[in-house]
Amino acid sequence: MQRSLQIDPEKCTACMQCELACSYQATESFNPSQSRIKVFMFHETARFVPYTCTQCAEAWCMKACPVDAIQVNAETGAKEVIDSLCVGCKVCTIACPFGTINYSQSTGKVVKCDLCGGDPECVKACPTDAITYVDADWTGLDKMRAWAAKTDSQSGAQA
C-alpha cells in the first residue's frame, strides 16, 4: 500500500513545527528556509496552508528530468532526487505545477519531499494533526480543489 501526506488546512495554526522538523531531518539544522514543507499564510483571512510535494502520479518533475535524477522509491512511493545524478539544471522546478521542488544554492542540486523514508517528521511534529500520513487513495487533487473553492467562497462573502 502506498501512503502519502494528507493536509487539512483547517487544522493548521501556523506553529511552523512541521518546517522546523523537516529542516532538521534534511539538514540537521533548525532552518525553515531549508524545509521541504512550507506553510503559506493568507494574512488577510488568517488562514494557513501547509504544502509540500504531493508525490503526484503524473510526476512532471520526474518526466522532465533530462538525467533521470528523480526516481520512485519502490518502498515508499516517493519521487526522490538522487543527488549523485542531479546536475542542478532546474528543469524539474519549472515542470512542477505546484512549486514544491526547489533548487538549493548550498548544494547546487534540487530538493523535494522524500517522505522521510516512510516516517515523515512533519507528521510527527504537527500538534494539531493538520498533516497526516495516510493510504494514498485517501488524498487527492479533488479534495484540494474543494477546499480552495470553499475558501474562495468564504473570502468573497466577507468582501
This prediction has a pTM of 0.81
Exposure of 104 in the CB half-sphere (CA atoms within 13 A): 18
How is domain 53-112 classified at the architecture level of CATH?
Answer: 2-Layer Sandwich (3.30)
| Domains 1-52+117-159 and 53-112 in one fold | yes
Per-residue pLDDT of the chain (159 residues; tens, 9 = 90+): 678 899 999 999 999 999 999 999 999 999 999 999 999 999 888 899 999 998 988 899 999 999 999 999 999 999 999 999 999 999 999 999 999 999 999 999 999 999 999 999 999 999 999 999 988 765 555 566 666 677 665 555 444
Q: How far is CA 153 from CA 8, 46, 98, in A?
A: 18, 15, 22
Residue 135 CB coordination number (10 Å): 11
* 1-52+117-159: CATH class: alpha beta
Rg (CA), the chain: 16
Q: Where are the domains of the chain?
A: 1-52+117-159, 53-112
